[in-house]
Amino acid sequence: MKILKFGGTSVGSAARIKGLLDIVDPNERQIVVLSAVSGTTNALVEIGQAFLNGDKQLAKQLIITHKDKYEELIKELFATEEGLKKGKELIDHHFHVIESLANNDIFTPTEEKIILAQGELMSTALWHFHLEEIGVASVLLPALEFMKIDEDNEPIIDHIKQRLSPFLNDNTDNKLFITQGFICRNSFGEIDNLRRGGSDYTASLIGAALGADEVQIWTDIDGMHNNDPRIVTNTSPIAHLSFDEAAELAYFGAKILHPQSVFPAQRYNVPVRLLNTMDPGAHGTLISKAGSEKGIIRAIAAKDGITAIHIHSSRMLLAYGFLRKVFEIFERYKTPIDMITTSEVAVSLSIDDTSNLLEIIKEVEVFGKVGVDEGQTIVCVVGDFGANTHGYAARVLDAVKHLPIRMISYGGSDYNVSILLDTKHKVEALRSLHNRLF
């Protein structure tokens, strides 16, 4: 069995929804994971924010505006009165769910997640109804019945397998299954989600739970490129990556793949292929255990929105337990650390979640003088940087020697060299590294 995931742009119009059958083979057993129609999640976030601010009138206007777009979509998608009727009833139901939240006296994150879930619930049902209208058999699998996260927001793969397998076993005569990406239930049974970009994660989790032959991520670019094609010219797709290389690139800014989606596939050794909906014949990028040839630099990625925290304290000299105490502060506030460098009297680290920055600084100041640099970017060069290779790190640093670098991370992984610099230097860094390395 294969798992195919299609993002919002791949279902961004009636024509593209119909065009999924140019890629999906109804005669091959597979599960298709769909994101919400392009633009829907952003619109639902805006509606939720209006509710959160207590502006029910604005929320109502936004709901009407967005529902009108779906009214036009179903007119283009369905060719029969019966199909149009089912489509109309569907969107009426889901927008009624959203509108009904205006009756709540208090709007909480739980209600916000209910709103966000409506996008994927509509896109999957609309495609299922379209296939039904044209005589193509399919089964709609409700993700909220099998996709679950625990109290630490970690997916429970055993639960996914336990709940999903009966759905498939009860439909052995069917080959095409459709389910929602992104959405799930939490440990309290409430509607929740896998965060933005989570449809990739859904596909990978399903692939891992079922031991799928392959997970395919269909998007609007022909695989993972060796640099950001929006900034750098003459980039090229990478034919083959290892799981470790792909994980580094995804985490440090490669937008084509959700960072978490690599790990379930890696753990259960399920190959992942990145493909282009607009050019189905393109080779794309295969991510697997074997990976590509050794001894080469693979790609460059950049991650914006980074904040650097510098802690200087003469009291930390030779003091065991210092780093543990610092890390415990970030752990308490559930704030992951991206990079870290240390010396005898100082430690510098970077984070991308600043929601608890003030509280963290207040606690860290107990250890010494604290400095904060916002508006930073991590530029990550991924390749074979193992102990037996030589010269690559020097080439990386030589390419950016004319730029002011705030931090360098090398040796923590065999697969990357990362540098931190001010975001205003990002474009120059990406282009200079590309010219020097490729």
CA atoms within 13 A on the CB side of 276: 15
The pLDDT value given to residue 260: 82
Residue 235 has what pLDDT?
Answer: 93
Query: Is there a contact between 217 and 254 (Cβ–Cβ < 8 Å)?
Result: no
Question: What Cα–Cα distance (Å) separates residue 56 from each residue in 39, 52, 68, 101, 164?
Answer: 21, 9, 18, 10, 38
pTM for the structure as a whole: 0.87
pLDDT per residue over 334-356, tens digit each? 999 999 998 878 899 999 999 99
The per-residue pLDDT for range 364-392, each reduced to its tens digit, is 998 889 999 999 999 999 887 765 667 77
For residue 6, say whether it is annotated as part of any ligand binding site.
Answer: yes
Tokens of 323: 């780093």
DSSP SS3 for 85: helix
**Pairwise pLDDT comparison (384 vs 174), residue with the higher score:** 174
- Position 318 scores a pLDDT of 54
| pLDDT computed for residue 387 by the predictor | 56
Q: Which residues contact 43 (CB under 8 A, 6 or more apart)?
A: 62, 65, 66
pLDDT digit string, tens, across residues 246-305: 888 888 876 778 778 889 999 999 999 999 988 888 889 999 987 656 778 889 999 999
What band does 197 get if pLDDT is binned at 50, 70 and 90? low
For the chain, percent of residues with pLDDT exceeding 90:
71
- Residue 162 makes CB contacts below 8 A (sequence gap 6+) with none
Task: Kindly state the average pLDDT of the residues 205-228.
Answer: 93
In this model, does residue 317 exceed pLDDT 60? Answer: no
The kind and range of the H/E element at 357 are helix 357-364
Q: For residue 146, what pLDDT band results from cuts at 50, 70 and 90?
A: very high
Q: Is 5 annotated as a binding residue?
A: yes
Q: Please give the Cα distance from 182 to 34 (Å, whole number).
A: 9
- The enclosing H or E element of 393 equals helix 392-399
Measure CA of the first residue to CA of the last residue in the chain; give whole Å: 37
Q: How far is CA 321 from the centre of its chain?
A: 35
- Is 8 annotated among the ligand-binding residues? yes
59 sits in the region (left: phi over 0; alpha: psi -120 to 50; else beta) called: alpha
Distance CA 338, CA 366 (A): 22
Q: Is 91 helix (H, G, I), strand (E, B) or coil?
A: helix
Task: Say whether pLDDT at 222 is over 90.
Answer: no
The tens digit of pLDDT for each residue in 85-137 reads: 999 999 999 999 999 988 887 888 899 999 999 999 999 999 999 999 999 99
Residue 157 has pLDDT above 90, yes or no: yes
Q: Spell out the domains of the chain, with CATH numbers in brackets.
A: 2-219 (3.40.1160.10), 298-437 (3.30.2130.10)
What digits encode the pLDDT tens for the residues 64-88? Answer: 999 999 999 999 999 999 999 999 9
Mean pLDDT of 221-228: 89
Give the pLDDT score at 139. Answer: 96
182 labelled as ligand-binding?
Answer: no
pLDDT at 138: 96
Answer yes or no: are the C-beta atoms of 260 and 267 closer than 8 Å: no
41 is in an annotated binding site: yes
Question: Which amino acid type is present at position 272?
Answer: V
- Written as one string, the DSSP assignment of 29-48 is -EEEEE-PPTTHHHHHHHHH
CA distance readout (Å), 176 to 2, 278, 302, 336? 10, 22, 37, 39
State the average pLDDT over residues 239-244.
90
Arithmetic mean of pLDDT, 148-177:
92
Q: Summarize pLDDT for 28-53 with one digit per residue, the tens.
A: 999 999 999 999 999 999 999 999 99
- Average pLDDT, whole number, for the chain? 91
What is the predicted pLDDT for the residue at 320? 73
Q: Report d(CA 92, CA 70) in Å as an integer.
A: 10
